[in-house]
């Protein structure tokens, strides 16, 4: 089953949005298979956001993402990578439609509350960066094809 990496960014943690965000993914029907509150090291930030290393906002992005605790999660379910991105909304909260997480809780692009992997490749990479194998829990909720 497909897995994705989702993270409540430091602004979301400070604003007490962990529960709200977990609730949205649970209510949608996805299965939480890993989670932890952690502070991102500079090394991890460079690895995670390496694709943006030449962008003008890279320094500020690393400074922000390492500035306080984040809540890192792995969610599992059919098409969870794309669906999580849709639930998050556009990168710029000003362009994110109401009903999405960024549309409902964000204002500025630098503090946009949540991260989610944007492809199968980035999900694999990011899950591996943030979680060791024993931290991903494999379990069954129901003998059902539609409850993940
Ligand atoms: P993320 O990786 O954090 O989930 O966000 P994303 O895919 O929607 O956007 P991405 O293009 O990967 O950008 C990563 C993060 O960099 C910050 N950013 N700032 N100042 C700017 O113009 C700018 N552009 C991007 C945002 O915080 C974005 O989430
Ligand atoms: Mg991205």
Distance of CA 80 from the midpoint of ligand 1 (Å): 20
Tell the residue nearest (CA) to atom 4 of ligand 1. 115
Q: State how beta strands 3-8 and 70-76 pair.
A: antiparallel
45 ligand 1 Cβ < 6 A: no
Q: Which ligand is nearest to the CA of 65?
A: 1
Query: Whole-angstrom Cα distance, residue 136 to residue 72?
Result: 12
Whether 115 is a known active-site residue: answer: yes
pLDDT at 18: 98
Residue 22, number of CB atoms within 10 A of its CB: 17
Model pLDDT for residues 57-107, shown as the tens digit of each residue: 999 999 999 999 999 999 999 999 999 999 999 999 999 999 999 999 999
Tell the residue nearest (CA) to atom 2 of ligand 1. 115
Tell the residue nearest (CA) to atom 6 of ligand 1. 91
Model pLDDT for residues 30-48, shown as the tens digit of each residue: 999 999 999 999 999 999 9
Say yes or no to pLDDT of 11 above 90.
Answer: yes
Report the side by side order of strands in the sheet with 31-38.
31-38, 70-76, 3-8, 114-116
> What is the DSSP annotation of 66-110?
TSS-EEEEEEESTTHHHHHHHHH--SSGGGSPBTBHHHHH--BTT
Query: Whole-angstrom Cα distance, residue 120 to residue 50?
Result: 17
Element spanning 19, H or E: helix 18-28
Task: Please state the ipTM of this predicted complex.
Answer: 0.94
pLDDT classification of 141: cutoffs 50, 70, 90: confident
């Amino acid at each position: 089953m497909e897995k994705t990496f989702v993270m409540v960014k430091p602004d979301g943690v400070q604003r007490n949005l962990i529960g709200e965000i977990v609730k949205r993914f649970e209510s949608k029907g996805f299965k939480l298979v890993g989670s932890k509150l952690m502070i991102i090291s500079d090394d991890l930030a460079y690895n995670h956001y390496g694709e943006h290393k030449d962008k003008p906002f890279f320094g500020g992005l690393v400074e922000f993402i390492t500035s306080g605790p984040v809540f890192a999660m792995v969610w599992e379910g059919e098409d969870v990578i794309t669906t999580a991105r849709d639930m998050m909304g556009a990168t710029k909260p000003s362009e994110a439609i109401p009903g999405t997480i960024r549309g409902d809780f964000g204002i500025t692009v630098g503090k946009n509350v949540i991260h989610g992997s944007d492809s199968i490749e980035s999900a694999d990479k990011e899950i591996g960066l943030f979680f060791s194998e024993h931290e991903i829990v494999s379990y069954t909720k129901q003998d059902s094809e539609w409850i993940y």
